[in-house]
Structures are given as structure tokens and as C-alpha cells.
Amino acid sequence: MHEPEDRTAPAVMPDDGFRLAFEHANDGIFIARGDRFVAVNRQGTELLGYAPGELDGALVTCIARPEDLALLASEMVEVAAGLRARREWVLRRRDGTTLDVDITSVYLPDGRFMSIVRDISQRRREQHELDAARSALVALINALPSPAFIVDRDFVVLMCNEALAESLALPMNAVLGGAVAKMLPPMVAEARMKRLREVFATGVPQAFDDNSAGRHHRNTIYPVVGDGGVVDRVAVFAIDMTDVRRAETAMRLSDVRMRATIDGRPDVSVQWYDRDGRVLLWNRASEKMFGYAASEALGQSLVDLIYTHEQQAEFLAALEQISESGNPMGPVELTFRRRDGTIGTCLSTIFEIPGEDGAPYFVCMDVDLSERKRVEAELRQAQKEEVLGRLAGGMAHDFNNLLTAIIGFAEIGHARVPRGSEPSECFGFVLEAAQRGAALTSNLLAFARKKVILPRSILLRDVVDRLVPLMRPLIGEHIELVTRHDHGPEHVTIDVGSLEQVIMNLVVNARDAMPVGGRLTIETRTVTIEGAPGPTEVQPGQYGVLAVKDTGIGVPPELHARVFEPFFTTKSVGQGTGLGLATCAGIVRQAGGHIGLESGPGGTSFKVHLPVTMATTGAPAIPGSARDKVRGDETVLLVEDEPAVRVLMERVLRSLGYHLLVAGDGREALTVAAAHAGKIHLLLTDLVMPEMGGLELAEALVALRPDTRVLLCSGYISDPELTNRAHALLPKPYSPAQLAQRVRETLDA
């Protein structure tokens, strides 16, 4: 009930001291009688957004929220009953907003209510933020899969997460407030407590690993600094690393196994690439195959390593196709470039694997085919040479028979006509043509490595020096000829005539390479080669070396592999047969040696390596002799399947006084020998005959007549062991004088 007279100042403020306290108090003071305010100090009006004096006479309920009116009436009844009330309220301000306050109310003796109101909104906000932070912290700690807790300086657990309670097999309320020492495993309790004390004392965090109950933990202790900079709490985090460690170990083992698998095949190069062709993995076989170390290749683009720009574009297109189709590529043959610039061939298979970031990786597995390709090429070349050799050898054999008859009868005819006469001149032309034909067949047989040879020990420098006078008019005055010899033990075993043919062929080849002049250098020396060479290189050992060098135009690199092929020539039609260098290669290989080529802008060098042998002495293959020294009266069994050659041999030998038994083949020869009761001093037989060859005939006859000497005649050798047998040889074609000399030598040996 409103009573205006009670609102006078004296009634409200009994004395000046109270008035001063009322007006200057830091808290709001509200005085009411019944249901209306009679006085509100300045702080009170400001708290609720009213002007000074505006609340005087206003209903008490104007500052209460509707939902609090019943509670307000009950509170006033209790205060009127003499009870002192203190409560946190939410008051309504003049603008409708609310204010959190703390109210202490008393009932004055004069029947008035006095309430002291303190603003606690800031404290409420701070408490709310603190509660939110604590809730977030609790949620964060509980979200950790590993144990975490906070202890005070008495080592009592103030806060922990559910993971700790689960690891201890205790309920949460049993852990909170408990002593941490009693909760730690006994085997680590003492060490952990020592670390906790150290962190409290120093304020320095600690991190350490330990193992307990078969589990590996990574522990961290953080100091929590309180008022005054003193560490009053510490937070402990124990992360269970057992599964991580096992995974890391498994990953390392997997990586080791993968590397062992990748590097375990030295013949399979493995690389990983990304979509742009950058190298991600490069195994040891790749290092060997391409010439780049893994440290050099990783991160590099293919175009910088093994492919040209064009090849890389094709490779990247292939990767794109593999990615789109999901199907691997290959195996397919590809060419690549090594670090040294040489080109190789590989059999390549490429497939896709998923990468860590979702982008695909590409695995490329290569098998180097370069060596196999080289061997296949050599095999094809060898097969080609074998076929050509068989053809050349067969043709040369038949041609040598013809040449033997032509040369023999021409010499006989030439000797029986007056010198200077027309018939004598005709016989001379026939002999000259026959000798040229003999040289051609000699080249064919040398290329086929079926030429009849008479190897003996010689000094390379002696052969070169003997040929120098023949070389000077051959090469011309516009070419300087230089010879150099290192006086070493360069004795080699080779057919002298064949070696002379090699030297002259190389000299002619060098001359043709210097049409406008230059220098031709011929060197001989002894070298020792060590190490393990490749299949086409010179094998280890001591060699006599013959080097023929020119300062000519050189041989293009792409032709190096073909210069020794038969019938290959760079000369114009009619200028060369293509057999010169092929013949040289055949002769050198037949002697167990090697011939190679080095060429560049400064000229070409052919080097012949022949194995060094012990120096021996021997008679020349076919020395000249006077006619009276080749006569004889011994019995000779003559066996030749070519009628013209047989007739020639028969006439020559009969004219020299020999007694002849003549047969047209091997079996007939055995029959003739069986019918002859006397001694047969010499078997003179052709080597290659139908049904029974000369070698088989010789073995059969010598078995019956051990004292019979054997002289084999042929321009074609198909038995590689022939030169190792104890039989004399007479190469075709031969002249009557050579036949007579060789027969006499064999009988007198």
C-alpha cells in the first residue's frame, strides 16, 4: 500500500552518517516498505539503468522477472519474520535486460526492508568461462586414447581421463583423489615418482620412454605454474606406443624385404615413377643398367636420364593409358640411353600401384637385352659367315683343282716352246691369269678360315721390314711411310704368306683412305693384357701387336660393326671386292688372334693381336730347288679324284723317276695298295674326295703299312685337327716345281 508521507527524507535516512554511507556505497541499497521502494541509492539505480530517484515509490516487483515473483513474495515473508536472507538473483533492468546479482536482505525495526545488491555478472561470466574451460579440458583429456592425469604437490590425482581408469581397472571415483604412487606399476613407480619430484622442483618438462606389462609407453610430464610462479601441479601423459612401434618395426621389415626383393635380382632393373615421369625409386640393377647412382636419379625426369624428348612423350602417354585402362603395358622392347651416351635395348613391363596421397605410382621393370642383342647379332653374323664360308670354300676347292691343272700344264707347255715366241707369250698370259685366280681363291679360303696354312714362328718386325720395299711403290709418293718397332719378344706363330696378305691388305686400305696424301704408320710391339674382357675383346695374355695407322678420312661410327663383313665395301663399283678386311679377319682368327678398329677425325688404326709364342726354327714352306735335287726312284701311291690334276701329277712325278701307283679315290687306292707286294714309300693323296677322304685313307693305309709317308694335297681344309696331325701338307694350287719339292721333302724328312 502506497504511503506518501513515509517517503520523506527524515523518515528514510535517520541520520547524516547513514545517509553518507547510503549514497556512496559500492553496492546498490534498496529500502522498501511493503511492496514499494522508499529509497534507492545512486549505485542501485545505475545497476538497473534508472535515473536517480526514479525508483522511489515504484513497486518492488518492477525489477523482478515474472517467473521470480512467487519466489520474491516468499522471500519477503521470510525476511519479515526476522530471517536474514542472502540469495543470488537475476534482476530485470529498466531496458528489459537482466543482471546477475547477489542480494542480502534484512527487516529493519521500523518495518522496512533493506536489501544490499552486488553485481556478480562479471563473476558469473568468469565462472561460466572457467566451467566451460574445465569441461573442455575434461572432454579433451577423455578424448585421449592413452592415460592422462593431473597431480598436486602431495601427488594426489586431481583430474584424470577414462583411459587411466580403464588401464588401472578402477572406477573413475576411485582414481580421483587417490595417491598416484599406489596406482603406478611397481616396476616403474620409483622412477616415475622421482621424475615427478624433479619437475615440481625444476619446472622443466620431462619426456621418457619405458616398458611395463609388455607395453611400450612414451611419457611426458608438464609443469603447471600457479600463483607466484610456483609449480603447484603437473600434468602427466602416457602414450601407449606399442602398436605404433610394432607397425614401425613391421614397416621397416617390410621396407627391408621390399628392398631385398627389388635388389635381389641383379638382372631386373626396377624404377618407380610419378605421373610426370619423375623417378621415385631406382634399384641397384638400374644403377648398373643405366649408369646413374640412385642418389643421382631420384627426383629427376626421364628426359634427363634415359630417354629423348620424343621417347619421354611416348612414355608419359603410355603411363596415361595405363592409368585410364588399369591394364599393365608390356613386356615390350624399348631403346634407352645410358649415362655414357650409348644406346641399349630392354624388355620393359610397366604397371600402376596406388600412392600414399592417392596419386598413382608406376612401377617399371626392365631386363637389359643389350648383351643378348649383341650376341644374337654376332650369331647371325657368324651364321652368315659360315654359310658364305661353306659356299666360298666349296667353290674354291673346285676352282683350285682347275687352277692346279691350268698352272701345271701351262708351265709344262711354256717350258717346251721357244722363249719369246707367240705360244710362249700365250702360255705366259695363261699363267698370269691363273695366278690371279689363285690369289682370289686364297682370299675366299682365308675368309672362310679353310685355307691350307703352314704356320711357323716369326718376328713381326722382320715380316714388316721385308715388305717395306714392296709397299713404297704401292702407296705412292704422296703418302709418307713410317715404321716403328719395339724390340720385344714378339714371336708369333702364323702362316707367313697369310700374314703378308693381312699387312698388304691393311696398307692398301690405308692408302685408299688418304687420296690426297698423309702418313701411314706401321708399328709392332709386345703387350700384356690383364683383366676379364667382354666376349668380343682380346682375352688376357701376352700378344704381339701389329698396328697400321693412317691419317685419312676415318670410318663413320655406324660402319664400325660392318667393316669386317664379307662383300661389304664403301668403294665404288669395280674398285673393291669387299673381301679385303673380311680376309684379314679370317686369317687373324684362324691364327688365334684378334683384329680391331679404332677410328676418328684424325684417322683410322687397325690393330692385330697375335698370341706370343716360343721362338722356333723351321724350313720355309716351299723353298726353291734345282731339278736334280728333286728326282727319286721311290714308289708313290698317287690318289686324286680330279682327272686333269691326276694326269698332271702323274706326268710330273714320272718325269722325275718315281714309280707310281695311281687311283681315282680312296677305296680304289686301298685296293691298289693291297695288290702291290712291294714297299709304298709315299701316299700322295687329295684331302677332299667322295666316299673316303684323304685323311681317312691315310689312317687306313698307315695302319697296314706303318713305314709309308703321307703327303696331303688340298686348297680346302674342313677338319680343324688336320694341322695338328703328323702329315705333310701341299696347298693347292701348286706348280710342278712345288709338287716335286714337297714330295722330295716328305720322303727325306
The owner of cell 694326269 is 647
Model pLDDT, residue 621: 34
Instruction: Give 450's contacts (C-beta < 8 A, 6+ positions apart).
Output: 389, 393, 396, 716, 717, 718
What is the CA angle 556-562-564, rounded to 5?
Answer: 115
Report the C-alpha dihedral over residues 510, 513, 519, 525, rounded to 10 degrees: -30
> In whole angstroms, what is the distance from residue 206 CA to residue 408 CA?
112
Enumerate helices (H) and strands (E) in the chain, giving the number of each: 22, 27
- With cell 712291294, the residue in question is 678
Element (H, E) at 484: strand 479-485
- Residue whose C-alpha is closest to residue 181's, from 165, 193, 198: 193
The whole-angstrom distance between residue 730's C-alpha and the CA centroid of its chain comes to 57
In the numeric block, the cell 518492488 is attached to: 60
559 burial type by CB count under 10 A (0-12 exposed, 13-18 middle, 19+ buried) = middle
If DSSP codes are grouped into helix, strand and coil, which group holds residue 52?
Answer: coil
Q: For CATH 3.30.565.10, list the domain ranges present in the chain.
A: 455-611
Tell me the C-alpha distance between 77 and 616, whole Å: 148
In this predicted structure, what is the pLDDT of residue 614? 72
CB atoms within 10 A of CB 617: 6
Cis before 223? omega within 30: no
Q: In this predicted structure, what is the pLDDT of residue 168?
A: 80
Superfamily grouping for domain 4-119: PAS domain (3.30.450.20)
Q: What is the pLDDT of residues 276-326, one digit of tens each?
A: 778 888 888 888 888 898 888 888 887 778 877 777 778 778 878 887 887
Element (H, E) at 88: strand 85-92
Q: Exposure string (b/e) for 216-251, b if CB count within 10 Å is 16 or more?
A: bbbbebbbeeeeeeebebbbbbbbbbeeeeeeeeee
Pairing of strands 148-152, 231-240: antiparallel
pTM to 2 decimals?
A: 0.42
Closest CA to 495 of 618, 322, 312: 618
Instruction: Tell me the CATH number of domain 455-611, given options 3.20.20.70, 3.30.200.20, 3.40.50.2300, 3.30.565.10.
Output: 3.30.565.10
How far is residue 414's CA from residue 425's CA, in Å, rounded to a whole number?
8
Measured between alpha carbons, how far is residue 590 from residues 192, 444, 455, 723 in Å? 87, 13, 10, 11
Task: Please provide the DSSP assignment of 714-740 as one string.
Answer: ES----TTGGGSS-EEEESS--HHHHH
Beta strands in 168-282 (DSSP E): 206-212, 215-225, 231-240, 268-273, 279-282
Q: In the prediction, which pLDDT does 439 show?
A: 66
pLDDT of residue 531: 64
How far apart CA 302 and CA 312 sit, in angstroms, is: 7
Q: What is the DSSP string of 300-363?
A: -BGGGTT--HHHHHHHHHHHHHHHHH---EEEEEEEEE-TTS-EEEEEEEEEEEE-TTS-EEEE
- All residue ranges of the chain with pLDDT < 70 are 1-17, 212-213, 254-261, 264, 356-358, 378, 381-397, 439-454, 488-490, 531-537, 558, 560-561, 566-580, 615-628, 715-725
Which segments of the chain belong to CATH 3.30.450.20? 4-119, 126-240, 247-368
Q: Which fold has domain 126-240?
A: Beta-Lactamase (3.30.450)
Residue 734: the pLDDT is 82
Contact indicator for 604, 585 with CB cutoff of 8 Å: no
Residue 404 CA to residue 23 CA, distance in Å, equals 155
Write down the pLDDT at residue 11.
Answer: 44
CATH architecture of the domain covering 247-368: 2-Layer Sandwich (3.30)
What order do you get walking across the sheet with 215-225 strand by strand? Answer: 157-160, 148-152, 231-240, 215-225, 206-212
3-state secondary structure of 389: helix
Torsion of CA 6, 9, 12, 14, to 10 degrees: -130
Residue 230 gets the label, from left (phi > 0), alpha (psi -120 to 50) or beta, of: beta
Which CATH number is 627-748 given? 3.40.50.2300
Question: CA 230 to CA 717: how far, in whole Å?
Answer: 109
Compute the Cα dihedral for 437, 438, 440, 441 and give only its sign: positive
Cell of 713: 694335297
